[in-house]
Each structure stands twice: as structure tokens, then as C-alpha cells.
Amino acid sequence: MTSAPISPPDAGKEPDELHLRRTEVHTQVWTGIAQAVLSVATVAAVLVALWVALQGQQSLKGATQNNLEQAQDDQFSTALTSLGSNDVTERIAGLALLELDASDRLTPTSTAAFGKPSAYNYYTTTLEIFSGFLHSHGVGSMTTAGTGGGMQPFGPGYGTPPPGAFSIDIQYAADEIAKMLELKNQVRAVSKVTPSFDVANDELYEVNLSGMNLSWVYAYMVGIDLRGAVLEKVHLSSLDDVEHSFLQCADLRYADLRGRGPAGCQPQRRGSLPR
């Protein structure tokens, strides 16, 4: 006995029913493809949106950084221009602006934008500018005071300057330097290198330096004239060199001179001339 042949699944179906079935299968296939394409397109759109947002953020960050850099550079340039003015008020404003610019560059925002080495370089450069300002104005005043008919000779360790011999901006410069030296923690955060400050042979007769902390920098103070200066609570250390400096009549109340101080100075009697 032979078995009857097995008929295909669709053998018993009418042609119209087969057509509908095939159409339904095709529709499902194309629907699946469309959904997959739509999903890919959606993911692509999200990625594009994220990329555009990132580019916009980078552009904004770059623009903000450029604006910050330009503002600080303009401030620095204005300060330097003011220091060369013949007007004492402009010079005082320039001194304050110079200290403010150095402080701004040590903030987290600036160091993140421009790097720690840049912040440290600006700080040390500013110290050099202040040093040059003290030297040029102090020595210039000293020379003026020591010339002319009938004037008493005046120089490091001897003589008394006539009234008005020194400009008030010397005191303002000292005040701004004191502020600079209060930035120890900010400077240490950007560099382990110890800054230097050179006031050797400077004429700071009767200048108020109270509270100035020079203990954490290399302060080169050889031959400095601090006669009559206010050095109350000044802090020095073994990093500082005050050899052959002049401290007659200086106010040293509560001053911390560990490592350096009067023992390293060469005092001379007021009014006497050096041999």
C-alpha cells in the first residue's frame, strides 16, 4: 500500500487567500526594516545633537578663554603704562592694577585656562617689576636729595633726606608688594619653585613694611637702607640675605628675624659717612 502524497501547507488555500498571506508577510518584513531604519536614524540624530552641543561648548569655552586672556593682558598693559606716568595718582593706580592682575592669574579659573606655569611666570614677573619700581624711584630720590647747594649728603646708611624727597608711591608700592607676598598658598599651588625678590641696595628710608612676610621667598636685601623703617611683624628666614643692610632706628617690634636679622647688618651712626 502506498501512502498518499503530502500536500503543501498552502495547497488547500484559495489563490486570493495565498495572495493576502504573502502580502501580510511582506508588510511585516518591510515594517520591521522601517522600524530598524528609524531606530538607527534616531540614534544618529542623537549623536549629531551631542556632537553639535559639544562643539558649541568647546567654542564657548574657547571664546571665554580668549576673552579672559585678552582682559588680563589689557589689564597688565594698562598697569605698565600707568607706572611710567608723570602723575603720581596714575602710578599708584598702576601699582594696584599690577597686583590685581597677578592675583587674578593665580585663581583656579585662570590656572585651568592657561596652565600653572603661566600663572607662576606672571607672578615672578610682577615681583621683578615691583623690584625695579622701588629701585628706580628710591635711588632716583636719593640722588636728588644728595645734590644741590647746602644739602646734606644722603645715601645708604648716612644722611637725612630733605622733606618731600621721596614720592608717596614708594609706600604704595610697598603695600602692594605686601599683598603679593600674602599669596604664598596660591603660588605654592601652581609651582614648587621658590620665587626671588631683589631689593638689594634699595633706599627705603622710613618706609612702612609692617607685616610683610618675606620668609618663603629668596629676598636679596644686601645693602638695603631701612633706617627708620617700620618693620613691625616683618617675617624673615634663612632664605633672606640682609648682609650689610642698615636698620638704625627701625621699628622691629614683634618682627620674626629667625635665620637673618640685625646680626647680619652693618649699622652706622646716623649722619656719618661711610669710609
pTM > 0.75: no
pLDDT at 120 over 90: yes
Position 16 confidence tier, pLDDT thresholds 50, 70, 90: low
Of all residues in the chain, the percent with pLDDT exceeding 70 is 64
Q: How many domains does the chain have?
A: 1
131 is a domain residue:
yes
Round the average pLDDT of the chain to a whole number and report it: 76
What is the predicted pLDDT for the residue at 25? 59
Nearest CA to 126 out of 186, 209, 210 is that of 186
Position 70 confidence tier, pLDDT thresholds 50, 70, 90: confident
Nearest CA to 221 out of 193, 200, 252, 237 is that of 200
Q: What is the pLDDT of residues 172-183, one digit of tens each?
A: 999 999 999 999
Which range among 32-36, 97-101, 139-143, 193-197 shows the weakest confidence by mean pLDDT? 139-143
What is the predicted pLDDT for the residue at 10? 52
Which range among 72-76, 110-114, 171-175, 256-260 shows the weakest confidence by mean pLDDT? 256-260
Which residue range(s) make up the domain with 175? Answer: 23-264
96 is a domain residue:
yes
Q: Three-state secondary structure along the chain? A: CCCCCCCCCCCCCCHHHHHHHHHHHHHHHHHHHHHHHHHHHHHHHHHHHHHHHHHHHHHHHHHHHHHHHHHHHHHHHHHHHHHCCCCHHHHHHHHHHHHHHHHHCCCHHHHHHHCHHHHHHHHHHHHHHHHHHHHHHHHHHHHHHCCCCCCCCCECCECCCCCCCCCCHHHHHHHHHHHHHCCHHHHHHHCCCCCEEECCCCECCCCECCCCECCCCEEECCCCECCCCECCCCECCCCCECCCCECCCCECCCCECCCCCHHHCCCCCCCCCCC
272 is a domain residue:
no
14 is a domain residue:
no
What is the predicted pLDDT for the residue at 240? 86
pLDDT at 275 over 50: no
Region class of 182: left (phi > 0), else alpha (psi between -120 and 50), else beta = alpha
17 is a domain residue:
no
Mean pLDDT of 40-47: 55
13 is a domain residue:
no
Which range among 30-34, 84-88, 100-104, 199-203 shows the weakest confidence by mean pLDDT? 30-34
271 is a domain residue:
no
What is the predicted pLDDT for the residue at 165? 72
2 is a domain residue:
no
